[in-house]
Amino acid sequence: MPSAPAPPPVLHPRFPASSFSCPRRTHPSPRTRPRRLSAAREMPWPHVLTVAGSDSGGGAGIQADIKACAALGAYCSSVITAVTAQNTAGVQGVHLVPEEFIRQQLNSVLSDMSVDVVKTGMLPSAGIVQILCESLRKFPVKALVVDPVMVSTSGDALSDPSTLTNYRDELFSMADIVTPNVKEASKLLGGIPLLTVSDMRDAAASIHKFGPRYVLVKGGDMPDSSEAIDIFFDGKEFVELHGHRIKTRNTHGTGCTLASSIAAELAKGSTMLHAVRVAKNFVESALHHSKDLVIGNGPQGPFDHLFRLKCPPYNIGSQQMFNPDSLFLYAVTDSRMNKRWDRSIEDAVKAAIEGGATIVQLREKDAESREFLEAANACVEICKSRGVPLLINDRVDIALACNADGVHVGQSDISAREVRELLGPGKIIGVSCKTPAQAEQAWNDGADYIGCGGVFPTTTKANNPTLGFEGLKAVCLASKLPVVAIGGINATNAGSVMELGLLNLKGVAVVSALFDRECVMTETRGLRSILTDAFACFRS
C-alpha cells in the first residue's frame, strides 16, 4: 500500500519555525497576555493594525488599508489619527483626533489582540509619532511598516512639517521598512531633487541611514516612463522592481494600499522582498481591473481592492469545490511517456500522488475512448481515496462518465462556458490562457483556474509558443482566477517561477519532468521538495 500523500501545503502558515522576525521586537510572553476565552482549536488569522487617517471618499487611508488586508487574507484593526473630508477632487478638511485618544485606541487594540504587524499612514503631528513609538515599546510587534504620508496625491498637506524630525529620529529606527514615494523621499532628505533611478538609489541609501532595516523608494510618480520602477534597499544591495504603469485616473490610495499589502504579507509570514513583490503585483492587478471604473468627478478616483469578488453570473457557485492551493504541484499524465517507460496510467498516477502531487490531470491524447474511460474510472478511485482532485483533459464526455472532479480545456477546445453548462457548478474547470484577454474570458465563462504557458520551451506539446516570465506575469496580473504555470517546468527552474511573487500563481503543472523519467515517485517528491523550499524561502 502506498503511504498516504502529504496534505497540500498550507500556503500561509502563521509564523513557520523560521518566520520573519525582527530581533529588536518579540511578542510579549503568553503569561503577560490576557487569558483566552476558549480552549478550542485556534484558527490562525494574520493581523495588521493600521495607524492612519480616515478618507471620507473611501479610496485611501484607513479604508484602503482595511480593503487591502481583506483582499490578501489578513485581519485589519485600525487606530484613527485624523478624519479627513476628502473626495476625488482633493482634501477639503482635516480634523485631528486628540492625541490622548489615539493613545487610548492603541492601548485598546494592542493590549487585547495579537497584532503581528503595525502599518502607519497619516501621522499628522509630532506628538502622535511619539505616542506611537511609546506604544510600540510597550507592546512589541513582529514588524513595523512605515508609509511616511506627508502630502496627499492632490497636493494637500497631511502632516505638520515638525513631524519630519520625529519620523527620522524616532520612528524610522524602529521600522522594518519605510516606503516613501519620490516626493516624500526628497522631503525626508531636505528637499533634494530626485529625477532619475540613480537618484532614487542614493535616496534609499540615505534614508536607510536613519535606521530602518529596509527602504522602498517608489518611482510611480517619476515622469515619462512606461514602467513604474521602485528601488528596494536592504542596507547592502539594491533591487530594481519593475512594474507596468497602468493608464488610469483611479490611482488614489495606491501608496496606502502598497504599504498595507506589504504588512499583510509580512503578517502571513513572508520575507520582506517577497512581501514587497506580492504587494506591488497586487496593486498593479487592482489598478488594471479598475482602470475604467468611475467614482466621483475629480481627477483622481479610487480603485477596487476586492476585484476578485466580482462574480459574473457564470462564476456564482462555480468555485465551491475548488481549493486553489491544490494547484501547487499539478501532475499531467502523458500516454506516450507511460508507454515508453512501460507503466500503466494507474501506476503513474499512484506514484505521482505518493511523491506529493496535489492535483492530477489525465491528458491521454492517443487513447481510444473505451480504454480511456476504463483508466479514468480506475484513476478516479485512486485519487478519491487519496483526497487528490482528478481532472480530464479535453474530454467532457469521459469526465461525466467517470464522475471526475473536473475538466481542463484549451483555446481550441469546447469553451469553458459550455463545459460549465455540461458539468454544472460543482466541478472544477481549468482553461489554458496565453493572454490577458483570454484570462478575462475564462473568468467570464465560469472557469476555476487558468493554466498558463509554455513558460519555458517544451517538446511535450507541439507548436506551443513560449511565453517566458513576462507572458506569465501579464496573464497572472490580469487574471482574477488562480493560475498554474505550465511548459518546460522542471527541478532546475521551478523555484524561479515561484519566486516571481505573483499572488495568484498557485503552482506548477508538469508532464515530462515527472512522467518521462524512470521513477515518477522520486521525481515528484524531488520537485515537491523544491517547491516547498522555494515557498518557505520567501515565507520565512
Ligand X SMILES: Cc1ncsc1CCOP(=O)(O)O
Ligand Y SMILES: Cc1ncc(COP(=O)(O)OP(=O)(O)O)c(N)n1
251 as an active site residue: the answer is: yes
- Integer angstrom CA distances of residue 511 from 42, 380, 516, 527: 39, 19, 7, 12
- Please identify, among the stretches 42-50, 58-66, 103-111, 511-519, the one whose residues bind ligand X according to the rule CB under 6 A: 511-519
Give the residue, chosen from 104, 107, 114, 512, that forms a contact with ligand X under the rule CB under 6 A: 512
Name the residue among 121, 120, 74, 79 with its Cα closest to residue 97: 79
Q: Considering beta carbons, is residue 261 or 319 the nearer one to ligand Y? A: 319
Residue 517 touching ligand X (CB under 6 A): no
**DSSP single-letter state for residue 439:** H
Residue 432 touching ligand Y (CB under 6 A): yes
Residue 524 touching ligand X (CB under 6 A): no
Provide φ and ψ at 55, rounded to 5°: -110, 110
Residue 454 touching ligand X (CB under 6 A): yes
Residue 458 touching ligand X (CB under 6 A): yes
Q: Decide if 446 contacts 417 (C-beta within 8 A).
A: yes
Residue 14 touching ligand Y (CB under 6 A): no
Residue 176 touching ligand Y (CB under 6 A): no
248 as an active site residue: the answer is: no
Q: Nearest-5° angle of CA 271, CA 206, CA 281?
A: 35
Q: Which of 251, 257, 358, 458 is catalytic?
A: 251
Give the residue, chosen from 59, 406, 430, 482, that forms a contact with ligand Y under the rule CB under 6 A: 430
256 as an active site residue: the answer is: yes
Give the residue, chosen from 202, 304, 325, 413, that forms a contact with Mg ion under the rule CB under 5 A: 413
Q: Decide if 180 contacts 207 (C-beta within 8 A).
A: yes
What's the rounded Cα separation, in Å, for the pair 390 and 396?
13
Q: Decide if 485 contacts 508 (C-beta within 8 A).
A: yes
Residue 456 touching ligand Y (CB under 6 A): no
255 as an active site residue: the answer is: yes
Query: Do the strands 117-120 and 90-96 form a parallel or antiparallel pair, or are they unpaired?
Result: unpaired
Chain centroid to CA 66? 16
- 3-class SS string, 54-93: EECCCCCHHHHHHHHHHHHCCEEEEEEEEEEEEECCEEEE
Positions 499 through 528 that interact with ligand Y (CB under 6 A): 509
93 as an active site residue: the answer is: no
User: Which of ligand Y, ligand X, Mg ion, none sits in contact with 460, Cβ below 5 to 8 A by type?
Assistant: ligand X
Least spacing, CB of residue 373 vs ligand Y, in Å? 18
Give the residue, chosen from 16, 410, 468, 495, that forms a contact with Mg ion under the rule CB under 5 A: 410
Residue 394 touching ligand Y (CB under 6 A): yes
Residue 408 touching ligand Y (CB under 6 A): yes
In this structure, which amino acid lies at residue 67?
A: K
Q: Which of 61, 255, 471, 487 is catalytic?
A: 255
DSSP 307-354: GGG---GGGTTTTTT--GGGGSEEEE--HHHHHHTT--HHHHHHHHHH
What's the rounded Cα separation, in Å, for the pair 309 and 420?
19
Residue 451 touching ligand Y (CB under 6 A): yes
User: Which of ligand Y, Mg ion, ligand X, none sits in contact with 314, Cβ below 5 to 8 A by type?
Assistant: none
- Please identify, among the stretches 73-81, 103-111, 405-413, 496-504, the one whose residues bind ligand Y according to the rule CB under 6 A: 405-413
DSSP 112-131: HS---EEEE----SHHHHHH
Residue 332 touching ligand Y (CB under 6 A): yes
Least spacing, CB of residue 445 vs ligand X, in Å? 19
Burial of residue 415, with CB atoms counted within 10 A of its CB: 0-12 exposed, 13-18 middle, 19 or more buried: middle
Name the residue among 431, 421, 371, 430 with its Cα closest to residue 400: 421
What's the rounded Cα separation, in Å, for the pair 468 and 434?
11
Residue 486 touching ligand X (CB under 6 A): yes
153 as an active site residue: the answer is: no
**Residues recognised as catalytic:** 218, 251, 253-256
Interface positions with ligand Y (CB under 6 A)? 330, 332, 361, 363, 393-394, 408-410, 413, 430, 432, 451, 461, 484, 486, 509
Residues in the site for Mg ion, rule: CB under 5 A? 394, 410, 413
Question: Residue numbers of the site for ligand X (CB under 6 A)?
Answer: 453-454, 458, 460-461, 464, 486-489, 510-513
